[in-house]
Amino acid sequence: MTLAAGVARVPLPMPLGAPLMGYGARLGFATGVHDPLFARALYLANGGAVLLVELDVCLLAPSHAETVRARIAERTGLAREQVLVGSIHTHSGPETGFVAWIAGAELPEITRALCDAAIEAAVAAHASAAPAQLGVGRAEVRIGRNRRIADGPLDAEALIVRVDRGDGAPLGVLYVYGCHPTVLGHDNLDYSADWPGAAARAIESALPGATAIFALGAHADVDPRTRGLLDMAIEGQSVGASFEVMEALGREVGVAVADAAMRIVTTADAPIASDTTWLSIPVHGVSADGTAQEAALEAERVAALRALGLDPERDEPNVGELFAATHERTRDLPRDEARRRIAVARRYLRDRTAPRFAGAPVARVGAQVVRIGPAWLLALPAEATTDVGLEWKARLGGTPGAVVSIANGWFRYLPHPRNFEHAAADEHYEIAMSTFVPGAATALLEAGAALRARLG
């Protein structure tokens, strides 16, 4: 069997005056374009096949991503389970319609345009497939830091797949690395792919003819090193660094990835496989069978209102009002006390809203496993913490691999069970923004391992 590969890149719409996505503290709408946004696609086939599409957006709703997967499958003849639709998670991209989706409102026009661009890129990559060869390598990249715990878990490895044309000329470079694309902050109103965009430009400059494709790794508790530790008791921490700093960090990643890619030996003897397995996973606030734990949620409600100095018998703020109150009513307290009270309120908000973000008390969640030559990717529809990514690599026993986050939708954060066991877990943003019960990551890792065994 001979490896076939194709790549494509399609521009994304960037309307001025439209909302950007990623920061609750952002005021204003898009006023400019710092760098263009794209849908980038890579098709690989040898025995099996995979069609990977990464959009330069913050995230897609699960139903939107699944619709795109289905439409790509229909257009290409692939199975939906062989299609991966990811988001790089830039916080300086267009609003994708998620806000409207979660509210049950009419979707904005840009949602259709973004999905159409993803489909167009995927179909073009599939149609351009030609004999190719690939190889896998790794690079050390250190632009990230654990944002939750000083000197906490960090994975500095970038997984790299170099794809060449049949004559050996560069065709594409896929790389997976775990760090939030949030060098730019809520004060920025220009469209940008953040550091992954700058990294792509550096890679494509070093390997002329190649299309650089970034897939977000296990990053949930990792920010660029330009940021400090994330503290729920401190407002305004999403202020960003300059475009110059963002470009420098992106070049740092791009140079490291390109240098490693140029040393990779490629071969046409690289098996490809992809499949998806589905799990039923309960959300916070419900039992394993999906029964709402109403008494526990009511106790959390009372505790949350009291923590914020509100009367549980009289006051009944909605979600937005209660979220705003977590800072408004704790602003003048000592930081440790404010943090504790905010954590009580955020726990209630998490459990109250989890079914809405999951679409049901027990959600149908996909774990996709992709084999690219010797490398194994576990693609998950959530923001996986570093520990989730490290466990997947440990399960591979030294074989190259990585977790791909925000793949085929977004169900908020996915902490590892040991993240929930941390002494200050309730004060950690990743816990407060999780959707599923603490065992969810383990269930998905085990499902991925079983699927990998079936794929051979």
pLDDT of residue 287: 82
Q: Which two tokens stand for residue 65?
A: 């991503």
Contact between residue 192 and residue 90 where contact means Cβ atoms under 8 Å apart: yes
Q: Is 70 exceeded by the pLDDT of residue 199?
A: yes
Could you tell me if 232 and 264 lie in one domain?
Answer: yes
Q: Which two tokens stand for residue 266?
A: 């490629």
Q: Is 70 exceeded by the pLDDT of residue 26?
A: yes
Q: Is 70 exceeded by the pLDDT of residue 446?
A: yes
Nearest one of 224, 223, 229 to 248, comparing CA atoms: 224
What contacts 24+ positions apart, CB below 8 Å, involve 432-435?
432/232, 432/343, 432/346, 432/347, 432/349, 432/350, 433/350, 434/284, 434/350, 435/283, 435/284, 435/350, 435/354, 435/357, 435/358, 435/363, 435/382, 435/411
Residue ranges of the alpha helices (H) in 104-242?
Answer: 109-127, 194-206
Q: Is 80 exceeded by the pLDDT of residue 366?
A: yes
**End position of a domain, from candidates 307, 341, 358:** 358
**End position of a domain, from candidates 297, 325, 358:** 358
In angstroms, rounded to a whole number, what is the distance separating the alpha carbons of residues 192 and 37? 7
0.95 surpassed by pTM? yes
Residues pairing with 51 in the sheet: 43, 83
Task: Determine the average pLDDT of the residues in 380-390.
Answer: 98
pLDDT of residue 447: 98
Could you tell me if 250 and 367 lie in one domain?
Answer: yes
Could you tell me if 376 and 301 lie in one domain?
Answer: no
Which residues have a Cβ under 8 Å from the Cβ of 344 and sit 6 or more positions away?
A: 303, 304, 307, 426
Please write the tens of the pLDDT for every residue from 218-227. Answer: 999 999 999 9
Could you tell me if 439 and 386 lie in one domain?
Answer: yes
The mean predicted confidence, pLDDT, of the chain is 96
- Return the SS3 of 352: helix
Could you tell me if 195 and 342 lie in one domain?
Answer: no
Interior angle at CA 423, CA 287 and CA 342, nearest 5: 75
Please write the tens of the pLDDT for every residue from 312-352. Answer: 999 999 999 999 999 999 999 999 999 999 999 999 999 99
Task: Residue 333: count other Cβ atoms within 10 Å of its Cβ.
Answer: 15
Number of domains forming the structure of the chain? 2
Query: What count of residues does the chain have?
Result: 456
Could you tell me if 196 and 98 lie in one domain?
Answer: yes
Could you tell me if 94 and 166 lie in one domain?
Answer: yes
Please write the tens of the pLDDT for every residue from 49-60. Answer: 999 999 999 999
pLDDT of residue 1: 67
Q: Radius of gyration over alpha carbons of the chain, in Å?
A: 21
Which residue type occupies 112? R
Task: Determine the average pLDDT of the residues in 107-114.
Answer: 96
Could you tell me if 164 and 263 lie in one domain?
Answer: yes
**End position of a domain, from candidates 358, 382, 412:** 358
Task: Residue 286: count other Cβ atoms within 10 Å of its Cβ.
Answer: 22
Name the pLDDT band for 421 (thresholds 50, 70, 90).
very high
Residues of the chain with pLDDT > 70: what percent? Answer: 100
Could you tell me if 36 and 101 lie in one domain?
Answer: yes
Could you tell me if 253 and 303 lie in one domain?
Answer: no
Contact between residue 172 and residue 208 where contact means Cβ atoms under 8 Å apart: no
Beta pairing, strands 144-146 & 130-140: unpaired
Q: Is 70 exceeded by the pLDDT of residue 291?
A: yes
pLDDT of residue 293: 87
Taking the chain, what is the end-to-end CA distance rounded to the nearest angstrom? 16
In angstroms, rounded to a whole number, what is the distance separating the alpha carbons of residues 159 and 177? 7
Task: Determine the average pLDDT of the residues in 173-184.
Answer: 98
For residue 353, the enclosing domain spans: 284-358
* Residue with tokens 């979600």, as numbered in its chain: 319
Could you tell me if 288 and 338 lie in one domain?
Answer: yes
Task: Residue 270: count other Cβ atoms within 10 Å of its Cβ.
Answer: 24
Task: Determine the average pLDDT of the residues in 395-418.
Answer: 98
Task: Determine the average pLDDT of the residues in 414-440.
Answer: 97
DSSP sequence for 179-192: --S-SS-TT--EE-
Nearest one of 57, 196, 149 to 387, comparing CA atoms: 149
In angstroms, rounded to a whole number, what is the distance separating the alpha carbons of residues 332 and 427? 18
Nearest one of 84, 366, 372, 371 to 216, comparing CA atoms: 84
Q: Which two tokens stand for residue 118?
A: 């993803």
In angstroms, rounded to a whole number, what is the distance separating the alpha carbons of residues 122 and 74? 11
Q: How far is CA 388 from the centre of its chain?
A: 13
Q: Is 80 exceeded by the pLDDT of residue 288?
A: no
pLDDT of residue 236: 87
Q: Is 80 exceeded by the pLDDT of residue 267?
A: yes
Could you tell me if 131 and 256 lie in one domain?
Answer: yes
